[in-house]
Chains A and B, each alone.
Chain A
Amino acid sequence: MRPPREHYREVVRRTPFHSRTTRANELNLWHRWRDYTVADAYFDVTLEYTALRNACAVFDISPMTKHRIEGPDALSFLNRLVTRDVARIGPGRVGYCVWCDDGGQVIDDGTLFHLQPGSYRLCSQERQLDWLTRSALGFNVSIREETEEVAALALQGPTSCTVLRALGLDGIETLAPFAMRTYALAGAELLVSRTGYTGDLGYELWTAPAQAEALWDRLFQAGEAYGIRPMGTHALEMARIEAGYIQAGVDFLPADRAVRVDRTRSPFELDLGWLVDFSKPNFTGRRALLDEQRRGSRYRLVRLDVEGNKPAKDAYVYDDRRNVIGAVTSALWSPMAKSSIALASVRMPWGRPTDELWAEIYYQKELKWNRLNARCRVVKGAFYEPARRRLTPPPAW
Chain B
Amino acid sequence: MTEARPTVVIGAGHNGLVAAAYLARAGRRVVVVEAAGHVGGAAVTREFAPHFRVSAVAHLTHLLDPVIVRELALERHGLAFARESLRTVALNPDGEAVVLDQRAVVAGPVAEPDRAAYAEFMVRMRRFAAVLGRQHRRVPPRLAWERWTDALPAAAVGLDLRRLGREELREFLRIVTMAIYDVADEAFESPILKGAVSLDAVLGTRLGARSGNSVFTYLHRLSGAAWGLGGPSLPRGGVGSVTDALAAASRLAGAEIRLASPVEAVLVRSGRAAGVRLAGGEVIEAAAVLSSADPHTTLLGLVGARHLEAEFAQRIHHLRATGTAAKLHLALRAPPAFRGVAAEHAGERLLISPSATYADEAFNPAKYRQWSEHPVLEITVPTMHDATLAPPGQHVLSAVVQYAPYDIAGGWDAARAPFEARLLALLEQYAPGIGGQVIAAQLLTPADIARDYRIAGGHWHHAELAIDQALMLRPVPGAARYATPIDGLYLCGAGSHPGGGLIGAAGRNAARVALGEEP
A residues near B, CB below 8 A? 73, 76-77, 80-81, 101-102, 131, 134-135, 137-139, 281-287
Contact = CB atoms under 8 A, between A and B. Distances in A.
23 contacts: A73-B306, A77-B306, A101-B310, A101-B311, A102-B309, A102-B312, A131-B310, A134-B310, A135-B310, A137-B300, A137-B305, A137-B310, A137-B314, A138-B305, A138-B306, A139-B305, A281-B268, A281-B270, A281-B307, A282-B309, A283-B309, A284-B309, A286-B271
B309 A286 contact: yes
A137 B313 contact: yes
Contacts of B312: 102
Contact of A287 (B306, B317, B485): B485
A64 B311 CA distance: 26
Closest 10 CB pairs of A and B: A138-B305, A102-B311, A135-B310, A284-B309, A284-B310, A102-B309, A137-B305, A137-B313, A134-B314, A138-B306
Contact of A80 (B268, B269, B270, B310): B310
B108 interface: no
A81 B271 CA distance: 15
B488 to A, nearest CB: 14
Interface in B288-347: 300, 304-314, 317
Contacts of B308: 282
Contacts of A139: 305-306
A321 to B, nearest CB: 28
A348 to B, nearest CB: 17
A281 B314 CA distance: 19
B309 A287 contact: yes
Among B268, B269, B270, which residue has the most Cβ atoms of chain A within 10 A? B270
A114 B34 CA distance: 44
B314 A284 contact: no
A252 to B, nearest CB: 19
A284 B311 CA distance: 8
B404 to A, nearest CB: 28
Contact of B304 (A138, A283, A285): A138
Nearest to A107: B310
Contacts, number: 52
Contacts of B313: 137-138
B271 A281 contact: yes
A101 B307 CA distance: 15
Nearest to A101: B311
B310 A287 contact: no
Nearest to B312: A102
B317 A137 contact: yes
A225 to B, nearest CB: 50
Given A134-B314, A137-B314, A137-B317, A281 B309 contact: no
Given A102-B478, A282-B307, 15 more contacts: A76-B306, A80-B310, A81-B310, A102-B312, A134-B314, A138-B306, A139-B306, A282-B306, A282-B308, A282-B309, A284-B309, A284-B310, A285-B309, A286-B309, A287-B271
B301 to A, nearest CB: 10
A138 B300 contact: yes
A77 B306 CA distance: 8
B313 to A, nearest CB: 5
B296 to A, nearest CB: 12
A157 B311 CA distance: 41
Nearest to B314: A134
Contacts of B310: 80-81, 101-102, 131, 134-135, 137, 284
A80 B314 contact: no
Contacts of B307: 281-282
B506 to A, nearest CB: 24
B318 to A, nearest CB: 10
A80 B313 CA distance: 12
Contacts of B314: 134, 137
B297 to A, nearest CB: 13
Contacts of A287: 271, 309, 485
Nearest to A134: B314
Nearest to B317: A137
Interface string B261-272: 000000011110
Given A134-B314, A138-B313, A281-B268, A80 B485 contact: no
Nearest to B300: A138
Contacts of A138: 300, 304-306, 313
A286 B270 CA distance: 11
Contacts of A281: 268-271, 307
A282 B270 CA distance: 7
Contacts of A80: 306, 310
Contacts of A131: 310
Contacts of A101: 310-311
B452 to A, nearest CB: 25
Contacts of B300: 137-138
Contacts of B268: 281-282
Nearest to B304: A138
Nearest to A103: B311
A287 B270 CA distance: 11
Contacts of B271: 281-282, 286-287
Interface in B213-272: 268-271
Contacts of B317: 137
Contacts of B306: 73, 76-77, 80, 138-139, 282
Nearest to B478: A102
Contacts of B309: 102, 282-287
A137 to B, nearest CB: 5
Contacts of A135: 310
A77 B271 CA distance: 16
A285 B311 CA distance: 10
A134 B310 CA distance: 7
A396 B271 CA distance: 50
Among B306, B478, B485, which residue has the most Cβ atoms of chain A within 10 A? B306
Nearest to A79: B306
Among B305, B311, B314, which residue has the most Cβ atoms of chain A within 10 A? B311
Among B305, B309, B311, which residue has the most Cβ atoms of chain A within 10 A? B309
A99 to B, nearest CB: 9
A260 B304 CA distance: 31
Contacts of A81: 310
A76 B307 CA distance: 10
B12 to A, nearest CB: 27
A139 B308 CA distance: 12
A281 to B, nearest CB: 6
B311 to A, nearest CB: 4
A138 B310 CA distance: 10
